[in-house]
Each structure stands twice: as structure tokens, then as C-alpha cells.
Amino acid sequence: MIRRILLACTLLCCLVGAGIWSSYARTPQSSSTLVGSWQLTLVPNVPPTDPATIPVPGLATFSSDETVIATAGGVIVGPFSSTGGVTNGVTPAHGIWQPSPAVGRFFIKLIGLVTNPNESLAATRTFTTTVLPNAAGDSFSGSYTLEIVEGSIVVTSTGTVNGKRIPHSLLP
């Protein structure tokens, strides 16, 4: 008799848990997480004397263990030389995301590699940003810093980043 009661309670707990999980899975993500895939737009800041900057498209996937993988425009094909052709290879960036000390914001840090034509390391690229999601949790924006270190040469650039969550539909 006690075994039947325990079995019934266990089964009930599993069914309730599955119902809660199913309900959670079907509700849109809140602004308290970045988990999912995002379409990005990066706009570098340029001095007023430079021509208008073209926004750089990108993609990022944020996992529940607070890791992230991202790629953006030039990262896929690498920089081009003035005579044509790819001069260096650039990897997608890997990194972390976590809640920021600033309430409601998220800190993101990504590191990518730049390789020489012979596949040796040419430089590292470190991208950092703190973003603020909108109330619905389907977009975010913030300012970024990109630091490229090639030996003892350090180049830093800044700009803005905007993200839009890529929606997915659950199967029926």
C-alpha cells in the first residue's frame, strides 16, 4: 500500500513538473536571460572625417551555461588586401555572458583569433559590451569596445551593438 502511494506521488510530481516545463517552454523568454540565438548589428564609432560607417551584421548564440559563440561580417571571410584576396583568417568569437552589476543589464566578453596565411597566430580580438534588453526580452542594445592585440600593437575601437532575438516556433 505504501509503495502504491509513493509511486502515485512520484508519478504526480513528474506530471506536474512536465506541465510546468511545458508551460515554461511555450512562453516567450523574459528580459532576465539572453539564452537563444540573436541577430546582431554593430556600428563602429568613426571620427567625423571618415566616410559613413556601414553597419556590420552578426549572429550570436547564448547558452544557458552562460557561454556564447558569435560571428560578424568580416569574421566569416577575414580582412581583404588592397590587391584582392583574403590576407588573414578570422575565427568566430567564443566567450561568456552574465548578469552585470548594473541591474537588468548583461556583460558579454568574446575572444576571437586572427591567423596569418600560414595559420600561425597573428592577433587576438577581444570584444566586450554591457547590453540592456527591452522589457519583452526580444532585443537589446549597448556600447562595445573591440581590442585587437597583434604582438605589442594594440588597436582599440568602439561602437554600438543592437541585438534582436531570432524567434523559434515549437513543434505542434
DSSP bridge pairs for 61: 37, 69
pLDDT at 54: 79
Q: Is the pTM of this model over 0.75?
A: no
Looking at residue 93, its pLDDT comes to 94
Domain boundaries, the chain: 1-28, 31-165
Cα–Cα distance between 146 and 55 in angstroms, integer?
15
CATH number for 31-165 (one of 2.40.128, 3.30.870, 1.25.40, 1.10.10): it is 2.40.128
* DSSP letters spanning 39-64: EEEEEE---TTSPPPPPEEEEEEE-T
pLDDT of residue 87: 58
Output the pLDDT for position 171. 81
52-95 confidence digits (pLDDT tens): 667 889 999 999 999 999 998 765 444 444 444 455 678 899 99
Tell me 63's DSSP state.
-
pLDDT band for position 6 (cuts 50, 70, 90): very low
Question: Would the CA dihedral through 109, 75, 162, 139 be positive or negative?
Answer: negative
C-alpha cell at 29: 523568454
Strands 36-44 and 153-165: antiparallel
Q: Which residues contact 46 (CB under 8 A, 6 or more apart)?
A: 53
Cross-strand bridge partners of residue 60? 38, 70
User: Would you state the pLDDT for residue 12?
Assistant: 40
Consecutive H or E run containing 32? none
**pLDDT tens by residue, 94-147:** 999 999 988 899 999 999 998 888 888 989 999 999 999 999 999 999 999 999
pLDDT computed for residue 48 by the predictor = 54
Contact status, residue 37 vs residue 79, Cβ threshold 8 Å: no
